[in-house]
Structure 1
Amino acid sequence: MTVTDIRIPDEIKPVDGRFGSGPSKVRPEGVEALSAVSRTFMGTSHRQKTVKNQVARMRRGLAEFFSLPDGYEVILSNGGTSAFWDTAAFGLVRDRAQFAEFGEFGAKFVKAVVDAPFLSSPTVHQAPGGQAAFLTAEAGVDVYASVHNETSTGVAVPVRRVAGADEGALLLTDATSGGGSLDVDLRETDVYYLAPQKALGSDGGIWLALMSPAALDRAFSIKSSGRYIPQFLDLVTAIEQSRLEQTYNTPALATVFLAAEQLDWMNAQGGLSWAVKRSAESAAAIYGWADRSSFATPFVTDPALRSAAVATIDFEGVDAAAIAATLRANDIVDTEPYRKLGRNQLRIALYPTVDPADVAALTTCIDYVVERLA
């Protein structure tokens, strides 16, 4: 039987078949709310209250959701996480950085710092895919950087400050895909940056950062030192504009609105604790199924490192690409693995937008497909 011949019965399919790790599932209710304001919000000036009020709503939602500590601020700007890595290289690393790199996304921040001619060579602690690397105290390091959830591999580590670090050293945490699905105490980090198109169930185009007073001070200190910083990557500009409920350039208006809608929804459900519990239920469904399966196993072998934001599942004796293609032909989409990892696996988003019941239904569909492919 070929991929296109297999029709999954409607009664066992997920209610919503979107499992992408980013862009992620956008709740229909959010799209409906955006449609309702399409003539008064979309296509209007981002310098006016119509848009600035939505930026403010999003910032307030993030502050409430993450229980923002005193003195921390919600900062945003255009360009996504890729732009933030360069922004941090210019505006937060004074001279030396140390990285914990254990996947493709952590490696991209490393490259941004390595390529910066005005910074010293960083220290990089590396681990192969499916494992984790950790930071260690090192004299002279002024920025430590790690990943809360490695989107490419499905490895998650706790957010903790580096014991014994030099006084004034900052910790930067990449929460691109972990923020909103994994528990965090923001007092344990100085910058917790995330993307709206993951757990926030929005679209892409901006970066969001929850910054401590020390991180805010560092940005202004570096700017005043005379370092050349491109305007688009100027963190001080992003801070000042965020305080005005706007961005330097026109932001993606739909992204701002959808993120604000999602945050209102999650806060109404119970905030971060609710979201963490919901993602954990989805994780239990997918990993429990894989542990019981004769042909599927969790790629991350250490249960303590298995992410509740993104699950990666290896397959043996069956072509995962054929499974993904069959699922896609049946309107169950974006289960393909991270392309550069090059493994025979599926990658499943477990964000709060995804119903745990749909994850359980997905496992039933995979079993159905595998039986017929065999």
Structure 2
Amino acid sequence: MSVQIPSDLLPHDGRFGSGPSKVRAAQIARLSDPTAPIGQSHRSAPVKSIVGSIRSGISELFNLPAGYEVVLGNGGASLLWDAIAFSVVESRAQAATFGEFSAKAARASVKVPWVEAVELVQADPGSIALCQTTDGIDTYLYPQNETSTGVLSPVSRFGGPDALTVVDGTSSAGGVLVEIASTDIYYFSPQKCFGSDGGLWIAVMSPRAIERIERLTSERWVPDVLNLKLAIDNSRKDQTLNTPAVSNLLMIAQQLSWMIESGGLAAMNARTASSSSLVYKWAEARPDATPFVSDPTYRSQVVTTIDFDDGVATPAISAFLRHAGVVDIDPYRSLHRNQFRISTFPNVELSDVQALLACIDWAIEAGIGRS
């Protein structure tokens, strides 16, 4: 008879993926509401009302400074990387890269012919690279959270009055405190802390960023899908350039309502801090485990990464737990590490994190993943 984990140890919800992430039941229920405008034009009043509620909800959640605008666009953050290269970077950029996604974002600006240079500030996975104010740089690019490695960066403004600071908040927005005034563009995808689907990007833009976008897109040829001026114009009308997934809009709107009603960004930050702290303390207490990010200052609250000694085969444990309904705790594929990557987004309950850790302990003690 095969070994089976006791059912009373299992989490109530076994989804711990770092994107797509756990979706709350209330978000799914919103889709089954017969009054939901699924199947209607995205330029109809009911759908535009939902986009408007998302824009106002983002403004409230992040306590936006005067003049900042919420912009939505079709495609995910990877499309926005190209849009930033076309519509935001003038001629010289600096990018901090310390993992797979920050490196991809930087490469988007390297490829375009009008960008004279992209100065890279690099660090190995598991450590952090920080931008440095440098003469001649017009755009600074870096992630608040590197999803592939679980490194969390402080959010600060760089450069002089003419430089823009552009921050990728894809896996941190909505789960970690941020001072939006320290950024000119703070963007994210909804399939992380917002527990929704991909295919959409959301950005908060300063007046200076909007002025730069309006000027550059009037001087350059920019494909419509990458033209952030068109995204701004459409967002001001509470719509997107092309047809979005209305179901996704409904889930985002429901999530925003829950976040705000639950205490706002401070409450979401407290949720992720509690869950991630539990994971790190658990790893530090085990003789065969250690947090991948050695400096506690830069350990992520929303994507925790834990290395194990060679005596524990994390792929075997992950596969074992997957059969029991506990899913998506594998490390990012390009790291090739003996590691668990456990998301602690706001939708993940602390009690489920506790149960997951108990399940891993049980599996190791039962000899799963042991040679």
Which TM bucket (shorter chain)? over 0.9
- Is the 8 Å Cα contact of residues 139 and 166 (structure 2) preserved in structure 1? yes
- Is the 8 Å Cα contact of residues 177 and 195 (structure 1) preserved in structure 2? yes
Which of 166, 169, 175 lines up with 1:175 in the alignment?
A: 169
Q: Which residue does 1:91 correspond to in 2?
A: 87
Which of 214, 232, 235 lines up with 2:208 in the alignment?
A: 214
Q: How does 1:196-207 map to 2 (within 5 A)?
A: 196-207=190-201
Amino acid at match of 2:55: R
TM-fit CA distance, 1:357: 1.3
Amino acid at match of 1:17: G
TM-fit CA distance, 1:348: 0.6
Which of 100, 103, 107 lines up with 2:103 in the alignment?
A: 107
Counterpart-to-counterpart distance in 2, 1:84 and 1:139: 26
- Provide, for residues 217-272 of structure 1, a one-character-per-residue CA deviation record: whole Å limited to 9, x for no partner: 110011122x0100111000000000001011001111111011001001000000
Q: How many residues align?
A: 367
Counterpart-to-counterpart distance in 2, 1:40 and 1:351: 26
- Is the 8 Å Cα contact of residues 188 and 201 (structure 2) preserved in structure 1? yes
Which of 270, 294, 298 lines up with 2:263 in the alignment?
A: 270
TM-fit CA distance, 1:6: 3.1
- Structure 1 residue 186 and structure 2 residue 183: aligned? no
Counterpart-to-counterpart distance in 2, 1:176 and 1:260: 17
Which of 332, 336, 353 lines up with 1:342 in the alignment?
A: 336
Q: Which residue does 1:137 correspond to in 2?
A: 133
Distance 1:356 1:40, change over 3 A: closer
Q: How does 1:301-312 map to 2 (within 5 A)?
A: 301-312=294-305
- Structure 1 residue 353 and structure 2 residue 347: aligned? yes
Unaligned runs of 5+ in 2: none
- Structure 1 residue 286 and structure 2 residue 279: aligned? yes
TM-fit CA distance, 1:166: 2.8
Which of 348, 353, 361 lines up with 1:367 in the alignment?
A: 361
TM-fit CA distance, 1:323: 1.0
Moved over 4 A (4+): none
SS of the residue corresponding to residue 204 of structure 2 reads strand
Counterpart-to-counterpart distance in 2, 1:324 and 1:281: 23
Counterpart-to-counterpart distance in 2, 1:237 and 1:176: 22
Q: Which residue does 1:237 correspond to in 2?
A: 230
Q: Which residue does 1:44 correspond to in 2?
A: 40
Counterpart-to-counterpart distance in 2, 1:72 and 1:265: 23
Q: Which residue does 2:55 correspond to in 1?
A: 59
Counterpart-to-counterpart distance in 1, 2:258 and 2:230: 30
SS of the residue corresponding to residue 207 of structure 1 reads strand
Q: Which residue does 1:75 correspond to in 2?
A: 71
SS of the residue corresponding to residue 210 of structure 1 reads strand
SS of the residue corresponding to residue 43 of structure 1 reads coil
- Is the 8 Å Cα contact of residues 30 and 36 (structure 2) preserved in structure 1? no
Counterpart-to-counterpart distance in 1, 2:160 and 2:76: 30
Counterpart-to-counterpart distance in 2, 1:191 and 1:297: 34
- Is the 8 Å Cα contact of residues 140 and 166 (structure 1) preserved in structure 2? no
Which of 139, 151, 157 lines up with 1:155 in the alignment?
A: 151
Amino acid at match of 1:23: P
Amino acid at match of 2:91: D
Q: TM-score, normalising length from structure 2?
A: 0.97
Which of 251, 254, 261 lines up with 2:247 in the alignment?
A: 254
TM-fit CA distance, 1:334: 0.7
Which of 86, 111, 116 lines up with 2:112 in the alignment?
A: 116
Amino acid at match of 1:268: E
Amino acid at match of 1:94: E
Amino acid at match of 1:353: N
Counterpart-to-counterpart distance in 2, 1:188 and 1:358: 34
Amino acid at match of 1:216: I
SS of the residue corresponding to residue 14 of structure 2 reads coil
Counterpart-to-counterpart distance in 2, 1:329 and 1:275: 30
Counterpart-to-counterpart distance in 1, 2:346 and 2:132: 32
TM-fit CA distance, 1:117: 1.3
Counterpart-to-counterpart distance in 1, 2:115 and 2:290: 42
Counterpart-to-counterpart distance in 1, 2:50 and 2:149: 34
RMSD: 1.0
Amino acid at match of 1:207: W
Counterpart-to-counterpart distance in 2, 1:276 and 1:81: 22
Counterpart-to-counterpart distance in 2, 1:8 and 1:79: 40
- Is the 8 Å Cα contact of residues 283 and 307 (structure 1) preserved in structure 2? yes
- Is the 8 Å Cα contact of residues 6 and 369 (structure 1) preserved in structure 2? no
- Provide, for residues 122-152 of structure 1, a one-character-per-residue CA deviation record: whole Å limited to 9, x for no partner: 1000000000001111111100011100000
- Is the 8 Å Cα contact of residues 93 and 140 (structure 2) preserved in structure 1? yes
TM-fit CA distance, 1:42: 1.3
SS of the residue corresponding to residue 291 of structure 1 reads helix
Q: Which residue does 1:33 correspond to in 2?
A: 30
TM-fit CA distance, 1:167: 2.3
TM-fit CA distance, 1:121: 1.7
- Structure 1 residue 10 and structure 2 residue 7: aligned? yes
TM-fit CA distance, 1:40: 4.3
Unaligned runs of 5+ in 1: none
